[in-house]
């Protein structure tokens, strides 16, 4: 299965282990373990797993190394773990290590290490959590890519927010990212769009015939028709094929789409249109090249692609015989060729589940042409099911039975909309209950996060009024209660979460993490007073909450959500 090979190739390209080297502490513990293995004469060839345990009672980090070794060493894992733990080199960073059944080794960091996180966050500030793994490599993220036949719907919203957030994360870790929107302005859909405008235009001029059922029914078509009428009067009455209809529609709709995206704080670098691929001869060029290497053949008057030989399943038609035009595959392949020609190191395509069948053919085409398809990463997200009054809303652009993204933003605002789209994994179907989103917008999880940020800002304002200086020379060793250490630990985890987001390309891990740090902070806040009579303790705690505020703000910025000063 070549597709699987491609996937593993990608996994290697986005290798987690490589990124984890950026996490000092994990690397440090791994180093300790390697020495301990050597002292025991054990050999272990895989990379050693050092991860965060589910529960804090199991320490700050844990490894299953002894369990993994049990089989080859033919010894009980608990004994192996004991031997490893005894052979661990001395270190000032680890307070203690313990063995727990069935053979885990858990590491507890020294408070000093946790406390140092505050110093680091405060000195790095708005850049805390950045990693330089991208090294200015160029990445293209293609998303939305909806044809301009109508306003963006809630369904598009998921993809828009997902793509933009991934782009933000990639930029954050040092990639040079381009956001690209691909659209098809040459196909059948756009012809129907033009005709839809034409018939509405006729109606405005007094025509009383029936508007075609299979044309775009939306009210926006009438507005566009009105615009055509203002510009051209009745001159085009007998000219349904006049391209004016299509062009005016396309411009007006794109204007709308861009505005909607802007409201979500999404701005594209490039809009790439299919038509140009024909005009520049790139479609033809791909056809010629495929023919030249014998990857295509003629049958029944059509031109077929030997997809089966390049990782696809069945052979596919590239050029139709019944009509003299290409199938969508050919320009899609040509389009992806331009991505390579434009020199991207990594290409991320985001599609809805309805397109999942098209990309294997595109990849097969690229492979046939000799491109390194491991550079292309395809993300498929499942659909959004909209629930209104307890019932599913079946959406169709054609029938204009949709909820527009604009309407959603009107109702819940940018922050809630973005957060809702991001809080679920892209592989799961997203049930978006409109009524719930509206009526409960006060009880929304996003407010919980923002509230934590606002609360801290409030504390810092109070501190400023009292002219309390905490930025330097405060005694961080005073930060030692259970809830405090837990908060410090969570701050440290931020970088690791970025790594996980990168390796999985799923921003959802970040939303989960931000919930966690907000919870940890709220708990701390309830138990411990920041500003008190104890000056030294006050200064230390101010530094701590400032660090939390920075992490929250950085995380929210990555999600494209505002971090309010007060609520």
Nearer to RNA, 203 or 515 (CB): 515
Interface with RNA includes 275 (CB under 7 A)?
Answer: no
Nearer to RNA, 72 or 123 (CB): 72
Nearer to RNA, 202 or 495 (CB): 495
To the nearest whole angstrom, how small is the minimum distance from the Cβ of residue 357 to RNA? 3
Interface with RNA includes 448 (CB under 7 A)?
Answer: yes
To the nearest whole angstrom, how small is the minimum distance from the Cβ of residue 278 to RNA? 12
Q: What is the largest CA-CA distance in the chain?
A: 92
Interface with RNA includes 20 (CB under 7 A)?
Answer: yes
Interface with RNA includes 529 (CB under 7 A)?
Answer: yes
* Interface pick for RNA out of 40, 49, 338, 486 (rule CB under 7 A): 49
The backbone region for 343, taken as left when phi is positive above 0, alpha when psi lies in -120 to 50, beta otherwise, is: left
Nearer to RNA, 292 or 323 (CB): 323
Tokens of 416: 């809630």
Interface with RNA includes 443 (CB under 7 A)?
Answer: yes
- Name the nearest CA neighbour of 92 among 113, 106, 107: 113
- Name the nearest CA neighbour of 558 among 128, 144, 181, 21: 128
Interface with RNA includes 338 (CB under 7 A)?
Answer: no
Stretch of residues binding RNA (CB under 7 A), selected from 134-142, 218-226, 408-416, 448-456:
448-456
Phi first, then psi: give them for residue 315, nearest 5 degrees: -65, 145
Strands 270-273 and 316-319: unpaired
- Name the nearest CA neighbour of 427 among 340, 512, 353, 343: 353
Q: ∠140-145-146 over CA atoms, to 5°?
A: 170
Measure Cα distances from 533 to 243, 377, 469, 537, 544 in Å: 76, 56, 14, 9, 17
What's the rounded Cα separation, in Å, for the pair 441 and 455? 19
What x-and-dash track marks residues 83-122 binding RNA by CB under 7 A?
Answer: -----------------x-xxx-x----------------
Nearer to RNA, 94 or 228 (CB): 94
What's the rounded Cα separation, in Å, for the pair 276 and 290? 20
Interface with RNA includes 287 (CB under 7 A)?
Answer: no
# of chain residues touching RNA (CB under 7 A): 96
Phi first, then psi: give them for residue 166, nearest 5 degrees: -60, -40
What's the rounded Cα separation, in Å, for the pair 147 and 152? 10
Stretch of residues binding RNA (CB under 7 A), selected from 61-69, 83-91, 228-236, 401-409:
61-69
To the nearest whole angstrom, how small is the minimum distance from the Cβ of residue 444 to RNA? 8
Stretch of residues binding RNA (CB under 7 A), selected from 168-176, 233-241, 326-334, 551-559:
326-334
* Interface pick for RNA out of 40, 137, 147, 338 (rule CB under 7 A): 147
Interface with RNA includes 447 (CB under 7 A)?
Answer: yes
To the nearest whole angstrom, how small is the minimum distance from the Cβ of residue 208 to RNA? 31
Four-point Cα dihedral 444, 445, 451, 452, nearest 10: 170
User: Which of positions 244-273 make contact with RNA (CB under 7 A)?
Assistant: none
User: Which of positions 400-429 make contact with RNA (CB under 7 A)?
Assistant: 423-425, 427-429
Nearer to RNA, 204 or 436 (CB): 436
Four-point Cα dihedral 219, 224, 226, 232, nearest 10: -160
What's the rounded Cα separation, in Å, for the pair 445 and 448? 5
Q: Coil, helix or strand for 22?
A: coil
User: Which of positions 154-193 make contact with RNA (CB under 7 A)?
Assistant: 184, 187-189
Interface with RNA includes 356 (CB under 7 A)?
Answer: yes
Nearer to RNA, 238 or 443 (CB): 443
Interface with RNA includes 445 (CB under 7 A)?
Answer: yes
Interface with RNA includes 547 (CB under 7 A)?
Answer: no
- Name the nearest CA neighbour of 290 among 310, 273, 274, 314: 310
Cis previous bond, 222, omega within 30: no
User: Which of positions 372-401 make contact with RNA (CB under 7 A)?
Assistant: 380, 382-383
To the nearest whole angstrom, how small is the minimum distance from the Cβ of residue 525 to RNA? 5
* Interface pick for RNA out of 152, 173, 405, 459 (rule CB under 7 A): 459
To the nearest whole angstrom, how small is the minimum distance from the Cβ of residue 100 to RNA? 4
| In contact, 505 and 143? CB cutoff 8 Å | no
Interface with RNA includes 238 (CB under 7 A)?
Answer: no
To the nearest whole angstrom, how small is the minimum distance from the Cβ of residue 538 to RNA? 8
Tokens of 548: 């939390």
User: Which of positions 489-508 make contact with RNA (CB under 7 A)?
Assistant: 500, 503-504, 506, 508
User: Which of positions 293-312 make contact with RNA (CB under 7 A)?
Assistant: 299-302
Phi first, then psi: give them for residue 44, nearest 5 degrees: -145, 120
Nearer to RNA, 255 or 354 (CB): 354
Interface with RNA includes 53 (CB under 7 A)?
Answer: yes
Task: For residue 215, give the DSSP letter.
Answer: S
Stretch of residues binding RNA (CB under 7 A), selected from 79-87, 212-220, 278-286, 439-447:
439-447
Nearer to RNA, 182 or 198 (CB): 182
To the nearest whole angstrom, how small is the minimum distance from the Cβ of residue 55 to RNA? 7
Which residues have a Cβ under 8 Å from the Cβ of 284 and sit 6 or more positions away? 278
To the nearest whole angstrom, how small is the minimum distance from the Cβ of residue 230 to RNA? 31
Interface with RNA includes 130 (CB under 7 A)?
Answer: no
Q: Count CB-CB contacts under 10 A for residue 223.
A: 13
| In contact, 137 and 345? CB cutoff 8 Å | yes
Q: What is the DSSP string of 300-358?
A: TTEEEE-GGGGT-SS-EEEE-SSSSSB-THHHHHHHHHHHHHTT-SEEEEEEEGGGTTT
């Amino acid at each position: 299965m070549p597709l699987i090979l491609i996937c593993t190739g990608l996994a290697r390209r986005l290798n987690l282990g490589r990124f984890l080297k950026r996490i000092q502490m994990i690397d440090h513990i791994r180093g300790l373990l390697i020495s301990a293995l050597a002292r025991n004469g054990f050999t272990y060839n895989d990379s050693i797993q050092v991860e965060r345990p589910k529960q804090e009672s199991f320490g700050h980090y844990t490894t299953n190394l002894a369990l993994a070794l049990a089989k080859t060493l033919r010894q009980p894992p608990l004994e192996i773990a004991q031997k490893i733990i005894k052979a661990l080199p001395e270190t000032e960073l680890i307070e203690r290590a313990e063995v727990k059944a069935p053979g885990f080794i858990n590491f507890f960091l020294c408070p000093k290490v946790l406390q140092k996180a505050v110093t680091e966050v405060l000195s790095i500030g708005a850049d805390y959590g950045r990693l330089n793994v991208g090294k200015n490599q160029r990445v293209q993220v293609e998303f939305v890519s909806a044809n301009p036949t109508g306003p963006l719907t809630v369904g598009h919203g998921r993809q828009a927010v997902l793509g933009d957030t991934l782009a933000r994360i990639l930029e954050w870790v040092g990639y040079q990212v381009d956001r690209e929107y691909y659209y098809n302005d040459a196909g059948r859909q756009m012809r129907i769009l033009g005709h839809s405008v034409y018939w509405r235009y006729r109606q405005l001029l007094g025509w009383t015939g029936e508007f075609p059922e299979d044309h775009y029914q939306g009210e926006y078509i009438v507005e566009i028709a009105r615009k055509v009428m203002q510009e051209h009067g009745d001159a085009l009455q007998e000219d349904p094929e006049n391209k004016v209809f299509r062009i005016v529609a396309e411009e007006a709709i794109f204007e709308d789409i861009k505005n909607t995206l802007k409201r979500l704080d999404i701005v594209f670098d490039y809009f790439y249109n299919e038509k140009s691929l024909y005009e520049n001869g790139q479609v033809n060029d791909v056809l010629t090249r495929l023919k030249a290497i014998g990857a295509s053949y003629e049958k029944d008057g059509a031109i077929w692609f030997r997809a089966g030989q390049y990782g696809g399943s069945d052979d596919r038609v590239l050029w139709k015989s019944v009509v003299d035009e290409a199938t969508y595959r050919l320009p899609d392949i040509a389009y992806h060729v331009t991505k390579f020609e434009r020199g991207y190191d990594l290409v991320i395509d985001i599609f809805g589940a309805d397109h999942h069948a098209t990309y294997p053919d595109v990849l097969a085409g690229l492979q046939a042409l000799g491109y390194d398809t491991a550079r292309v990463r395809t993300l498929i997200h499942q659909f959004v099911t909209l629930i209104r009054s307890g019932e599913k809303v079946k959406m169709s652009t054609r029938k204009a039975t949709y909820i527009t993204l604009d309407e959603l933003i009107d109702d819940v605002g940018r922050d809630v909309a973005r957060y809702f789209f991001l809080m679920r994994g892209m592989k799961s179907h997203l049930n978006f209950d409109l009524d719930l989103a509206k009526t409960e917008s006060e009880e929304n999880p996003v407010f919980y996060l923002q509230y934590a940020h606002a609360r801290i800002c409030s504390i810092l304002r109070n501190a400023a009024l009292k002219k309390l200086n905490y930025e330097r020379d405060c005694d961080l060793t005073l930060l030692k209660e259970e809830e405090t250490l837990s908060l410090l630990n969570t701050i440290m985890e931020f970088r690791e979460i970025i790594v996980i987001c990168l390796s999985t390309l799923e921003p959802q891990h970040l939303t989960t993490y931000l919930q966690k740090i907000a919870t940890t902070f709220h708990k701390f806040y309830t138990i411990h007073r920041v500003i008190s009579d104890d000056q030294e303790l006050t200064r230390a705690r101010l530094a701590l909450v400032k660090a939390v505020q920075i992490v929250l703000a950085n995380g929210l910025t990555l999600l494209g959500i505002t971090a309010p000063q007060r609520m």
